[in-house]
Amino acid sequence: MLALLAVLLTHIRANITQLRTEIRDNPDAGYSTETVVVTALLVALALAVIGDIIYNKVLNKANGISL
């Protein structure tokens, strides 16, 4: 069990070292991902606002119908 933990710890350290090297060598690598996430959030917000506007218009129109 202790040997397994040692292997796991060594693997984690190697991954962290590799990630640090990649970040140091290419610091702008995550920019496109960040842009995609922000754009997706803005689109979701716009869709929510448009959906709310349409919902209110349909609801008002439905409430205005009299028999």
**Inter-CA distances, 5 with 8, 9, 19, 30, 43, Å:** 5, 6, 21, 31, 44
One DSSP character per residue, the chain reads -HHHHHHHHHHHHHHHHHHHHHHHH-TTTTHHHHHHHHHHHHHHHHHHHHHHHHHHHHHHHHHT---
Regarding predicted confidence, which is higher, 15 or 66?
15
**Is residue 51 pLDDT above 90, yes or no?**
yes
Specify the pTM.
0.48
Q: Per residue in 12-37, pLDDT tens?
A: 999 999 999 988 888 776 677 788 89
Other Cβ atoms less than 10 A from the Cβ of 22: the count is 11
Q: Looking at residue 29, what is its pLDDT?
A: 67
